Structure 1
Amino acid sequence: METIGLIVPCYNEEPSINLFYDEVERVFNEMKENNMNYNHEYWFVNDGSSDNTLSLIKNLRSKDKNVHYVSFSRNFGKESAMAAGLDNVGGDYVAVMDVDLQDPPALLPKMIKYIKEDGYDVVGCVQKTRKQNPVRAFLSSSFYKVINKMSDVEIKQNVRDYRLMTRQYVDNVLKLCEYNRFTKGIFSWVGFNTKYIEYDGVERAAGESHWSLYQLLEYSLEGIVDFSDVPLKVATWVGGFSFFISIIGLIFVVLRAIFFGGAVSGWPSLVSIILFINGVQLFCLGIAGNYIGKIYLETKNRPKYIVKEKE
């Protein structure tokens, strides 16, 4: 019998653990009643939680030997948690799911059918509707437009990390072992035959989101830098344009001095030009520095996460 492995990143998700487990068990029991027989195993990744998340996972483990867990030595972030899940999960098919039930387990049978009957290698999920702050919605929409214009791979707007993947697909994702990870981009870069299904967004089953607006902005910049060198090209063009303007300005000053005499003193305009040029230089240096920082982290070859417990 084929097995579906479930990767479930957790960070302070004490209120959601048991709700998630019960819902997934209900879905798999319904699948068996409909002659869709699959074994399944859980890989909960405790990302340095400070509440009772790990205790609840261990309690599930004591009752169900299909429950496994990896617990980090500290909080390394969701990207590292997903990487740990991919490194450890078994099964013929692998799903990445959020424990807050915003990724409905009820979609799993539909996703399996697309892979088994239609020959897809991966089925991803896209939220059609989602209640969120208008500022976040605007920034999210803008991010996908920007990164899809800059990057060589297309990232579907409002795509979730929730997806079901074949073992072949997962094995190829594991070949991408970079330290700086933007998993949505990695999933798209790997390619293969991909199907996206849409669903209406649902509220969290319990608890609250741990993502602040600043973290989302930082994550967006991470994705752009990881999957596009366009910012470096922009810096080059901005620097070249500024140089061109400065040459034009120099020629203008020389010609005016030749034909009309000395230049009228204009300290404010001079200072403004100097500040503008310096600002452009710092802007370009900042972009280059961001990429150099990524190279620095990659060359240090640190592990993406450190495991404290595993079972």
Structure 2
Amino acid sequence: MQQLSIIIPCYNEEDTIQLFLQETKKIEADMMSELTFDYLFINDGSKDQTLNILRHVSQIYPNVHYLSFSRNFGKEAALLAGLEEAKGDLVTVMDVDLQDPPELLPLMYAKILEGYDVVGTRRADRKGEPIVRSALSKLFYKLINLVSDTEMVDGVRDFRLMTRQVVDSILELGEVNRFSKGIFSWVGYDVIYLPFDNHERVAGKTSWNFWGLLKYSLDGFINFSEMPLTIATWTGTISFVVSLLAIFFIIVRKLLFDDPVSGWASTVSVILFIGGIQLFCLGIIGKYLSKIFLETKKRPVYIVKEKA
């Protein structure tokens, strides 16, 4: 019988762990003739009672295990740790707040039996999500698909069921700066996406805020597109050509019409404009260099303090 490893990243989720297990245990009972379930919680440096609750549930359920980080390393590190630790023939990633409905698991497994390597999920709508966040999310997917060769589906979740071969391929990518949504798409394989209605958290508060999502989006652009570097190059080139034309115009006007160049304000404005463009381009280049710098350090993506 095949084993299903369920990876559940947790950060300050003391209110949701028990609720999550209550729901997934129902699905486990329904599928026990087809799959054995193995739960792997990743405690990403939580500040509340998450770790104590994980210790408790791991003693109650023999198939519930956990890793606890030495500090908060972020969801990407938690996903990587879970994928590296998971031993199942099939592996899935789920949010502990039940925004990823466990009742989809039987249908996802049925699709795997049909021959798919990955069965992903995507939200059919963004009901209940702030309007600004929804608009920015849609804009992100439009832009990233415009500038990247790796297609990313709008509304796609990390909640997906993968075969062992797919997981092994993902783990071959040894990069430190990880953007899992892009990595999941980059490895390819036969993929199908199942739409579902958006679910709100069953309890607690999300740890994501506007700036966190913005940083995550920028990581996506940097990790899966060279377009920002191209934009910086062309912006600098166009600015240089325009500046040469302006200088030529000023010289010709002076020689033909003896018209003095007047207006320090316009001169300063041009200097500030060109300087701003240069700083903007240097900032883009610096972002790529910082990613290279982090890769060359070879620091571990996470540190495990405790496991069970």
Same fold (TM over 0.5): yes
Structural RMSD (CA):
0.8
CA positional deviation for 1:30: 2.0
Q: Measure the CA separation in 1 of the matches of 2:134 and 2:64.
A: 36
Is residue 127 from structure 1 mapped to residue 116 from structure 2 by the alignment? no
CA positional deviation for 1:173: 0.3
Equivalent residue number for residue 61 of structure 1 = 58
CA positional deviation for 1:57: 1.0
Is residue 302 from structure 1 mapped to residue 299 from structure 2 by the alignment? yes
Deviating beyond 3 angstroms after TM superposition, the runs of 4 or more aligned structure 1 residues are none
Q: Measure the CA separation in 1 of the matches of 2:35 and 2:129.
A: 36
Is residue 229 from structure 1 mapped to residue 232 from structure 2 by the alignment? no
Aligned AA for 1:21? L
Q: 2:260 aligns with which of 258, 263, 278?
A: 263
Alignment of 1:167-246 (within 5 A): 167-246=164-243
CA positional deviation for 1:213: 0.3
Q: In the TM superposition, what whole-angstrom CA distance separates every residue of 1:170-224 from its partner, at most 9, and x where no partner exists?
A: 0000001111010000000000000001000011111111101010001000110
Aligned AA for 1:261? D
Q: Measure the CA separation in 1 of the matches of 2:34 and 2:261.
A: 86
Equivalent residue number for residue 270 of structure 2 = 273
Q: Measure the CA separation in 2 of the matches of 1:146 and 1:209.
A: 25
SS of 1:177's equivalent in the other structure is coil
SS of 1:195's equivalent in the other structure is strand
Q: Measure the CA separation in 2 of the matches of 1:22 and 1:224.
A: 38
Q: Measure the CA separation in 2 of the matches of 1:135 and 1:248.
A: 42
CA positional deviation for 1:65: 1.4
Equivalent residue number for residue 3 of structure 1 = 3
Structure 1 segments unaligned to the other structure (5+ residues): none
Q: In the TM superposition, what whole-angstrom CA distance separates every residue of 1:214-269 from its partner, at most 9, and x where no partner exists?
A: 10001000110000010000000000000010011011011101110032411111
Q: Measure the CA separation in 2 of the matches of 1:248 and 1:91.
A: 65
CA contact (8 A) 2:3 2:90 kept: yes
Structure 2 segments unaligned to the other structure (5+ residues): none
CA contact (8 A) 2:250 2:261 kept: no
Give TM-score, length-normalised by structure 2.
0.98
Equivalent residue number for residue 153 of structure 1 = 150
Aligned residues with identical type, % of pairs? 53
Q: Measure the CA separation in 2 of the matches of 1:96 and 1:124.
A: 10
Q: Measure the CA separation in 2 of the matches of 1:179 and 1:193.
A: 26
Is residue 286 from structure 1 mapped to residue 292 from structure 2 by the alignment? no
Equivalent residue number for residue 99 of structure 2 = 102
Aligned AA for 1:210? S
Q: Measure the CA separation in 2 of the matches of 1:263 and 1:294.
A: 49
CA positional deviation for 1:310: 1.1
Is residue 17 from structure 1 mapped to residue 17 from structure 2 by the alignment? yes
Equivalent residue number for residue 48 of structure 1 = 45
Equivalent residue number for residue 29 of structure 2 = 29
- Report which stretch shifted further, 13-22 or 257-266: 257-266
CA contact (8 A) 2:123 2:197 kept: yes
Q: Measure the CA separation in 2 of the matches of 1:142 and 1:162.
A: 22
